[in-house]
Structure 1
């Protein structure tokens, strides 16, 4: 069965790496709280989401996006993504510079 972008658990080929990255990011961003990324509540001051996907294949529906966070509330993530999409759509395509 084909999944829509990120509606399934993390693909096994990314699971170990994404968990390691999430733990490392949480340790850097929330050093006072040495807890697993699934912990939620006021103890964390900084939230994050990590999206991992194969480059160039999402737009044509041939791939999916893998998602992990450090316990972010889904409503907050939806609001964040809506804001980012609006921001990205409102900006012209920009070329990178060195």
Structure 2
């Protein structure tokens, strides 16, 4: 892998669909609001099923800060692993 996880662009096979879905999600959750006026953030993860070779997970958000996304994922993993006492900022 030439890029660090999340540093590369969305894989070409998913780019058009992910951008379209992100646009619909943003409008659904935030209406016409843009930028800091949005009330709801999201992250869409897309990956191929059936690969065990560390296939790339593509993601897109409606402007979420990468640091906040990492904190969110850490908190979710902790909850999934039965450690709900771990607190963060996401």
Matched with 1:47 is 41
TM-score (ref. length: structure 1): 0.73
TM-score (ref. length: structure 2): 0.79
Aligned length in residues: 83
* RMSD (Å), alpha carbons: 2.0
Q: Per the alignment, in what secondary structure is the counterpart of residue 81 of structure 1?
A: helix
Bigger relative contact order (CA 8 A; separation at least 6) = 1
Runs of 5+ consecutive residues of structure 1 not aligned to the other structure? 92-98
From the two aligned structures, give the one with the greater helix fraction: 2
Runs of 4+, deviation exceeding 6 Å: none
Could you tell me how far apart the structure 1 residues matched to 2:80 and 2:49 are?
18
